[in-house]
Amino acid sequence: MTATTATSAQQAPDTRAAPLLLCGAAAGVLFVAVSFAQAFTRSGFDLREHALSALTLGDLGWLQVTNFVVTGLLAGAFAIGLRRVLRPGRAATAGPILIGLYGIAMIGGGLFTPDPALGWPAGAPAGLPERQSTGSTVHVVFGAVAFMSLIVAGIVFARREAGRGHRTWATYSVANSVAAFVLTALPWSEESASLRFAVGAVLISSWLVALSCRLHKQF
């Protein structure tokens, strides 16, 4: 085999990765759709006060737990697809790792749930608990990792696209990451936290969908 032939073989698209690349879009759409469907239909839940992750509580909490876990598994499959099609090249290592980290964090965020608070679910204290449980603390950590992994991934893939001359998509990716960071990481008022994190979840999920569809078309 000549050097040219070997290089062509290495760059040939992996057709087995195509279904995996669409798993990113499925993850983004699933999480937002299932979360907001519950947010507007579950009695007593108020998005102005209660975080989307609080939907893991109550009689129907298993729905949101399943949503978190399945979203995480789909993101993991997407990360595997990314690893297959991006190497070698920019984002070939950091990209799949960050998306995979998001998937792990989503699974963890579903398995460890927040404490009942602010009257949700029915019978919960009207305010915040005086002491946060270990499970709730772990949930918060996983939530932070989930947000930050996709925020950083946005910058990583923006650099990749800028290097390929796709400046419009690179700009969108950076802007989305900056907006999500401002909404979720800066010290805002606690009263607006649930809405800010809901918008942040929509932003990072929509970016995941856009990335998935874009790479599926490319490969």
Q: Are the beta carbons of 201 and 183 closer than 8 angstroms?
A: no
59 burial via Cβ count (<10 Å: 0-12, 13-18, 19+): exposed
- Residues in the chain, pLDDT under 70: 1-15
Longest dimension (CA), the chain: 72
The C-alpha atoms of residue 40 and residue 31 are separated, in whole angstroms, by: 14
Helix (H, G, I), strand (E, B) or coil at 117: strand
Q: Residue 8: what pLDDT?
A: 41
pTM for the whole thing?
Answer: 0.91
Q: Residue 17: what pLDDT?
A: 81
Q: Residue 14: what pLDDT?
A: 65
Q: Residue 189: what pLDDT?
A: 79
Closest-CA residue to 32 (of 214, 212, 197): 197
Distance (Å) of CA 32 to CA 27, 84, 138: 9, 27, 22
The C-alpha atoms of residue 81 and residue 18 are separated, in whole angstroms, by: 7
Please list, residue by residue across 145-165, b when 16 or more beta carbons sit within 10 angstroms of its beta carbon and e when fewer do: bbbbbbbbbbbbbbbbbbeee
Helix (H, G, I), strand (E, B) or coil at 13: coil
* Residue with token string 């499925």: 26
Question: pLDDT tens across 152-191, in order?
Answer: 999 999 999 999 999 999 999 999 999 999 999 887 778 8
SS3 annotation, 41-55: CCCCCCCCCCCHHHH
